[in-house]
Amino acid sequence: MDPSERDWIRFGDAVIDYEIRRSVRRHKTLEITAGPKGVRVAVPAATRPEDIAAFVRSKARWILDRLASPPSQDAPPQLPGTLPYLGRSLSLSTGRDDIADVDVRFRPWELQVLLPRSMDPDGAAPHIRSAVSEWYWLRACEHIPVGVDRWWPVMGSGAKPEVIIGDQRKRWGSCAAEGPLRFNWRLVMLEPGLLDYVVVHELAHLTELNHGPDFWALVDAVLPGVAERKAALRAIEGTLPL
């Protein structure tokens, strides 16, 4: 399908015309941008037109306000030249290619973000940030369940709960009485020892639903150095670039 389809919706007396950018790299998220160059919606490749229209309609008031406002003079947020990945530094570079959508390519230890030649460089920053965040989310979907599988024989019993990779802004992970286990995708930015600590911490909640002495005794018996790992996580909070 053409990567730059167009469609429109009516919202009150206004008509919102929008460009659709489909990507096989997107699995769940839909993203919308609105500005001087119009409205663009980035969606997973198989998203139905009616679902896209419903998403645009849910954002219609924001879109109209955005289109009616003068463009901001603030510079778009820029990512630093290096990013953390599994506790190591990953250099970030950008380039251009004859492609329809932003593409992220990894080779140790570099992350290359390729932009379509047609993309306005002044508006590229949010697209770079979104593509890099999605790359990390996909890596988290690979690494975190492996960590759960590794510690489950030690910590778990019965049926293993579902593992969900989310975008919690203020928590590394969470767990209900019988699951699911929820983890922040940013964990793959941390060194493996800290990722293991968060996995063990949440698995321990399947046995102890509080943070009492029995809980910490269980975690410490499985994974020594709890105090140091907790301190390292606290030091990292709020410092990650994404």
Domain count, the chain: 2
Residue 166, classed as helix, strand or coil, is: strand
pLDDT in the model for residue 181: 93
Last residue of a domain, one of 43, 68, 93: 68
Give the domain extent around 46.
4-68
Question: Does residue 64 belong to any structural domain of this protein?
Answer: yes
- My answer on whether 143 and 224 are in the same domain is yes
Q: What is the pTM of this model?
A: 0.70
One domain, residues 145 and 58: no
Position 85 in a domain: no
Q: Determine, yes or no, domain membership for 40.
A: yes
Domain-embedded: residue 201: yes
Please indicate, yes or no, if residue 102 is contained in any of the structural domains: no
Q: How much is the pLDDT for 179? A: 77
| 136-192 tens-digit pLDDT | 999 999 999 999 999 999 998 888 899 999 888 788 999 887 778 999 999 999 999
Instruction: Divide the 242 residues of the chain into consecutive groups of 10 and give the mean pLDDT of each group.
Output: 73 90 76 80 89 92 79 61 95 90 91 89 85 92 94 89 87 86 95 97 92 94 94 91 90
The runs of H, that is alpha helices, within the chain are 49-58, 60-68, 125-155, 192-204, 213-222, 226-236
Of 24, 52, 68, the domain-final residue: 68
Q: How far apart are CA 225 and CA 217, in angstroms?
A: 12
Last residue of a domain, one of 19, 42, 68: 68
CATH at 167: 3.30.2010.10
